[in-house]
Amino acid sequence: MKLIKQFCSFVGKEIDIKQASLINIIRSEIAEKGAISFPRFWHQALLHEKFGYYMKQDVFNKDGDFVTSVEISQMFNELIGIWLLNTFQHIGVLDNNFRPTNQKMHILEFGPGLGTLSSNVLRVFAQFNLLENLQYSYVEYSDYMRKKQQEAVLKQLQKSNIYPKYEYNNQKVEKFESAEVNLKWFKMYEHFLYEETREGQHCDPVLILAHEFFDALPVNIFEYSGGQWCEKLVGLDQDGKTLKFILSNGPNQNVYKVLNPDKYFSPEIKKLIKEGDTIEISPQSGVIANSLAELIAKVGGAALIIDYGEKRAFSDSIRAIQRHKLMDKNDILNKPGDCDLSAYVNFMALEQAALKVEGIKVPELMTQGNWLEQMGIQARLQILCKNANKATEKRLQSEYERLVHSNQMGSNFKFMCIHRTKNNNLFPFIQDAQQIYY
Ligand code: SAH
């Protein structure tokens, strides 16, 4: 009898271990608390401490699930490096000869992926002999990605004979310091704000980069049903296993808090709304854009936000990608942790959130193709091709086309800038540059 009991509990344990998958964790949460909001599902799918998509694997390179512009070509990253130098000069952190002043150069990057953009930016700064008086801060939620980024960045700095030392402290920041550069990784933006912009602390201007970060932030989905707005929640099908979207029973708290339809839609739009219409809203994106604008208004600097999207809200833009393939819409909920989730970025919402802050300007969006051309990608291509063999030249040419051409990444991806009104005409976000569209 005793033996059978022991055997049963052993079998039970076996099953538990096998079932400790993310989908089971989410199922249990729903079984316990009822249907959850889509942002809660999203957070678990991408950032669950053990099983989240970004927490455990390389998702960016050729063998991963997708390739971003920063992984496609060094030209892209170098031009961002040049933009940073030019902007530091424009706002007075570097002098007219691109030499340091008494202000520190401070860069803050959100969601740095494999650390490739940052490594290339540091290489550009090294070429201009400007790897001094530099602080590079990173916001990265995933422990796994932070390690990858640190490896890449430290390897790059070694090439300039810079060996920053890890400085242990028990706060929520991982620091690497040397006489020249100061690197700081924060798990969350809130930690950065607490650590770097506390009252009474001296703050230098900061240039902020966010490449394919905002599209990774969750959206709430609302649907007009039965003459009222409801939220699309994640619940369980009758089999008690399959996750599926279900509508809230009438307007729930989020309908009022996140959408607020009375205020959100103009009277003209209200007349056009019909049964079954949906809208996606990312409250976290608005909060971050507003906070970045506040930071820039307070300490100076600018933000460069790069992503795919447009100046409008989307109704059906959520995508799940696995191994370079767009997954079937019905599978979005049933492979949490195994595929990437993203939503098109509503740049209008980011702009409105930023413009709530006094003294802040958001110039017209630029397409990626236009921005890269204005920054001189063709000149850079030519220089690289000069010293290249035929095969490399062909590769560089195809990288250029992939980044710039409108039927590739040139027009879906946009560059948005947030800066102080008094730092007007931040290149290349100037009127003339808008004339050419790719
Ligand atoms: N910028 C890189 C990576 C883009 S993917 C590139 O373009 O290749 C999104 C990145 O943001 C990943 O590094 C991911 O781990 C991180 N991330 C996603 N959600 C986050 C969050 N809420 N807070 C901080 N980092 C996040």
Element (H or E) spanning 16, and its range? Answer: helix 2-19
Each residue's pLDDT tens digit, 299-321: 999 999 999 999 999 999 999 98
Q: Is the pLDDT of residue 438 over 60?
A: no
Mutation probe of ligand 1 site: the residue of 137, 172, 213 with most atoms within 8 A of C-beta: 213
Q: Is the CB of 216 under 6 A from ligand 1?
A: yes
Give the per-residue pLDDT at 56.
84
The radius of gyration of the chain from alpha carbons, rounded to an integer in Å, stands at: 24
Residue nearest to atom 20 of ligand 1 (CA): 141
Q: How far apart are CA 115 and CA 77, in angstroms?
A: 11
Burial class of residue 274, CB neighbours in 10 A (0-12, 13-18, 19+): exposed
Give the per-residue pLDDT at 434.
53
Q: Among residues 313, 394, 335, which one has the least CA distance to residue 45? A: 335
Give the per-residue pLDDT at 198.
86
3-state secondary structure 224-268: EECCEEEEEEEEECCCCCCEEEEECCCCCHHHHHHHCHHHHCCHH
The token pair at 69 is 């512009």
Q: Among residues 368, 87, 322, 44, which one has the least CA distance to residue 206? A: 87
Residue type, 277: D
The token pair at 437 is 């569209």
Give the per-residue pLDDT at 247.
98
Q: Which ligand 1 atom sits closest to the C-alpha of 210?
A: 1
Each residue's pLDDT tens digit, 254-299: 999 999 999 999 999 999 999 999 999 999 999 999 999 999 999 9
Q: Is the CB of 212 under 6 A from ligand 1?
A: yes
Give the per-residue pLDDT at 314.
98
Residue nearest to atom 2 of ligand 1 (CA): 113
Q: Is the pLDDT of residue 146 over 50?
A: yes
Give the per-residue pLDDT at 96.
95
What is the distance in A from the centroid of ligand 1 to the CA of 210? 9
Mutation probe of ligand 1 site: the residue of 53, 117, 140 with most atoms within 8 A of C-beta: 140
- Compare 2 and 176 and report the one with higher pLDDT: 176
Q: Residue range 13-34: average pLDDT?
A: 78
Q: Is the pLDDT of residue 215 over 60?
A: yes
According to DSSP, the β-strands at 278-281 and 220-225 are antiparallel
Q: Is the CB of 429 under 6 A from ligand 1?
A: no
Each residue's pLDDT tens digit, 48-82: 999 999 998 767 665 666 789 999 999 999 999 99
Q: Is the pLDDT of residue 6 over 70?
A: no
Q: How far apart are CA 229 and CA 352, in angstroms?
A: 23
Residues 6+ apart with CB under 8 A from 77: 70, 116, 117, 119, 120, 121
Using CA atoms, how far residue 196 sits from 91, 122, 133, 189, 405, in Å, is 20, 21, 16, 10, 39
Q: How far apart are CA 219 and CA 286, in angstroms?
A: 11
Q: Is the CB of 113 under 6 A from ligand 1?
A: yes
Which residues, listed in sequence order, are joined to residue 301 by a DSSP beta bridge? Answer: 206
**Cis amide linkage into residue 428, ω under 30° from 0:** yes
pTM: 0.93
Scored b (16 or more CB within 10 A) or e, 241-255 reads eebebbbbeeebebb
What is the distance in A from the centroid of ligand 1 to the CA of 113? 6
Q: How far apart are CA 299 and CA 204, in angstroms?
A: 6
Give the per-residue pLDDT at 9.
41
Residue 121 · residue 130 · CB < 8 Å: no
Q: Is the CB of 211 under 6 A from ligand 1?
A: yes
- Compare 359 and 65 and report the one with higher pLDDT: 359
What is the distance in A from the centroid of ligand 1 to the CA of 16? 31
What is the distance in A from the centroid of ligand 1 to the CA of 215? 9
4-13, 67-76, 133-142, 342-351: segment of lowest average pLDDT: 4-13
Scored b (16 or more CB within 10 A) or e, 93-115 reads bbeeeeebeebbbbbbbbbbbbb
Residue type, 188: M
Using CA atoms, how far residue 117 sits from 14, 78, 101, 355, in Å, is 44, 8, 25, 28
Q: Is the pLDDT of residue 35 over 60?
A: yes
What is the distance in A from the centroid of ligand 1 to the CA of 223? 28
Q: Residue range 9-20: average pLDDT?
A: 44
Each residue's pLDDT tens digit, 158-206: 999 999 999 877 677 999 999 989 999 999 999 999 999 988 888 999 9
pLDDT band at 18 (very low <50, low <70, confident <90, very high): very low
The percentage of residues in the chain with a pLDDT greater than 70, rounded to a whole number, is 92
Each residue's pLDDT tens digit, 227-254: 999 999 999 999 999 999 999 999 999 9
Each residue's pLDDT tens digit, 362-409: 999 999 999 999 999 999 999 999 989 999 999 999 999 999 999 999
Give the per-residue pLDDT at 61.
60
Q: Residue range 82-96: average pLDDT?
A: 97
DSSP 177: E
What is the distance in A from the centroid of ligand 1 to the CA of 198? 25
Q: Is the CB of 142 under 6 A from ligand 1?
A: yes
What is the distance in A from the centroid of ligand 1 to the CA of 214? 8
The rounded mean pLDDT for the chain is 92
Residue 231 · residue 33 · CB < 8 Å: no
Q: Among residues 117, 110, 122, which one has the least CA distance to residue 164? A: 122
Q: Is the pLDDT of residue 28 over 60?
A: yes
100-104, 168-172, 329-333: segment of lowest average pLDDT: 168-172
